[in-house]
Amino acid sequence: MCVAVFTSASVSSCMTMFSLSVSAVTTRCHLFTALHRCVLTSNAGLTYSSTCIGSTSLTNTPFKQESKISAVRNLCTDQDCNVSEKTCPTTENGEVRVRFAPSPTGFLHLGGLRTALYNFIFAKKHGGTFILRLEDTDQNRLVPGADEAIEDMLEWAGIPPDESPRRGGPLGPYRQSERLELYTQAALGLVDAGHAYYCFCSTQRLELLKKEALRSGQTPRYDNRCPRVIRFRLRSGVEPFQDLVFGWNQHEVAQVEGDPVVMKADGFPTYHLANVVDDHLMGISHVLRGSEWLISTSKHLLLYRALGWSPPAFAHLPLLLNRDGSKLSKRQGDIFIQRFQQAGVLPQALLDLTTHCGSGFATNRIGRKMEDLISEFNPSKITTHSALLDLEKIPEFNRIHLEQRIEDEEQSDSLVKDLQEHIQKAYAEEIQDKDVLRGSYITRILRLRKGHISSLKELVTPGYSYLWVRPSVSYQQVAALTSETQHITSLFLRFIEAQGEELSVEALSKDLKTLAKSAKATKYRDVMKLLRLSLSGLQQGPSVAEMMVSLGRREVIHRFQKLLLLSPIS
């Protein structure tokens, strides 16, 4: 444990510069923040004294230029820094912390959902924490509302983050635009230690350099001739790393690309610096991201080494592609999660589909729930092959998951409420009997149609309108089927009046076949057509027996009585 004290002159100048009170510097992690701000922004020596137990004494030692960054590193990596402190996260206790870090330059799509899902499952599998971090440093490309929509869609999908811009958390803020000071500190520290340098090139000149290099068949590189932004100095000798999916990897980035910008002229960091700084300060233990970032990992490891930090474990997920092997594109309007939500696709079905086409699970069956995905997840089973997504299978997956929800009493209640909204929206002005909005009636419809429909919205299409609106049937329509309309209708009306309130599809099917034989000159097929027309106004649909059970005894009687009143002039 260390207790550190600044000399009064140094404390005064430093605290005045950053508007900090001396009383704020009361814990080791707070000391780290204050010291980090001072040593990375002041060229003057800073006298530091300490009383240390179990560590090297620095009493009354002026900091030299090259030792400033190492002092900061030591403060942040000591074992006694509490994980709850923002500036000194640690995973030495074995805690699993993963993050999904999208850019709000667009709305959440299937590829992003899959990455978020694998992170969520991995965290829950190991009792860890799932974090949403918004990487909004590209200010010119931000899409209004995308940040809120991303978190909305994660919650809708059933994979809510434990820490996020909306929920908060101990290691926030969770928007990169609110963490700029941290990136500035890191960038200045890299410059201070000789790992980075200033570059003042204009965008136009850099573009000309790039075009000239490409024209001559060379790799575009910065030629070190003008300063303005901060560039990280790439070094050769990158150590190989073991990816949890792709195995051992090594990319000598210094040989194939120029020194990357880590801090832009507008004061915002680039992805490479920001994600390294945030992953470290947020205590990320495992980085699960798309395989398109695999080649950049060596660059990130160089940054970790330059900053003196231990990197997390990496697992790069194979790409999610269209069925024909082409890349998913944001230009495909049908890959955005909000589109699936609006189309009535269940979140469980969407998650099941995106994992079914890939790898990483003990089984590959349709109909897996979240608890199944968590229990069956095995990172060692993730292959390097791209996953081919067949969107045409969505109705099949949705049908199975809708059936499961109908069978679950709690989830069924939610379906009833959703369907009530759909009915009122589609038929508000046409409904004659408000009983069709009763929960018991809708529940009966759902149970009868279970396994036959792929979404709730199907039940408000014209083919099912008879469930909510009484149909209009003309004398000419029934006359085209049989001349025995009065006889057949009276026969079936007396039959249904004699039944109890509880009707059975199986029993009715047998009784209808027997009664149909009482028709003198009308075939069984035409008798069923007449009954179907009377009940629904349609010539196709569920069985007549199911229609009768769906509508209920009272409504069937009403519709048969209406059929008896038809005349040639009606």
Backbone φ and ψ for 380, nearest 5 degrees, come out as -65, -15
Distance between CA atoms of 521 and 252, rounded to whole angstroms?
88
CA distance 71 to 80: 16
Task: Report how far residue 466's alpha carbon sits from residue 452's, in angstroms, rounded to the nearest whole number.
Answer: 17
Task: Specify whether the CB–CB gap between 136 and 103 falls below 8 A.
Answer: yes
d(CA 334, CA 556): 41
- What is residue 59's DSSP assignment? T
Long-range contacts, 447-454 (Cβ 8 Å, 24+): 447/406, 448/505, 448/542, 448/546, 448/549, 448/550, 449/542, 450/402, 450/403, 450/406, 450/407, 451/399, 451/403, 452/542, 453/399, 453/402, 454/395, 454/396, 454/398, 454/399, 454/402
- One DSSP character per residue, 138-202 reads -GGGPPTTHHHHHHHHHHHTT---SBBTTTB-TT---BGGG-HHHHHHHHHHHHHTTSEEEE---
Residues paired with 230 in a beta bridge: 198, 263
Q: What is the DSSP string of 76-104?
A: HH-TTS-TTSTT----TT---EEEE---T
Q: What Å distances lie between residue 418 and 324, 346, 409, 443, 447, CA to CA?
A: 35, 12, 14, 12, 15
Backbone phi, psi, residue 107, to 5°: -90, 160
**Residue 40 C-alpha from the chain's centroid:** 37
- Enumerate the active-site residues: 330
Q: DSSP state, 378?
A: -
Say which residue the tokens 């002026």 belong to.
Answer: 62
CA dist., res. 213 & res. 157, Å (int): 46
Spatial contact of 281 and 77, defined as CB atoms under 8 Å apart: no
Report the candidate in 63, 307, 47 with the shortest Cα–Cα distance to residue 191.
307
What is the C-alpha separation between 207 and 152, in angstroms, rounded?
38
Rounded distance, CA 51 to CA 4, Å?
6
Q: Measuring CA to CA, which residue among 127, 178, 194, 167 is closest to residue 281?
A: 178
Q: Walk across the sheet containing 2-6 and list its strands.
A: 2-6, 47-52, 61-62
Count of alpha carbons within 13 angstroms of residue 307, beta-carbon side: 30
Q: How many CB atoms are closer than 10 A to CB 451?
A: 12
Q: Are strands 286-290 and 313-317 parallel, antiparallel or unpaired?
A: parallel
Q: Do 107 and 146 meet the contact criterion of CB atoms below 8 Å apart?
A: yes
Residue 286's identity, in one-letter code, is H
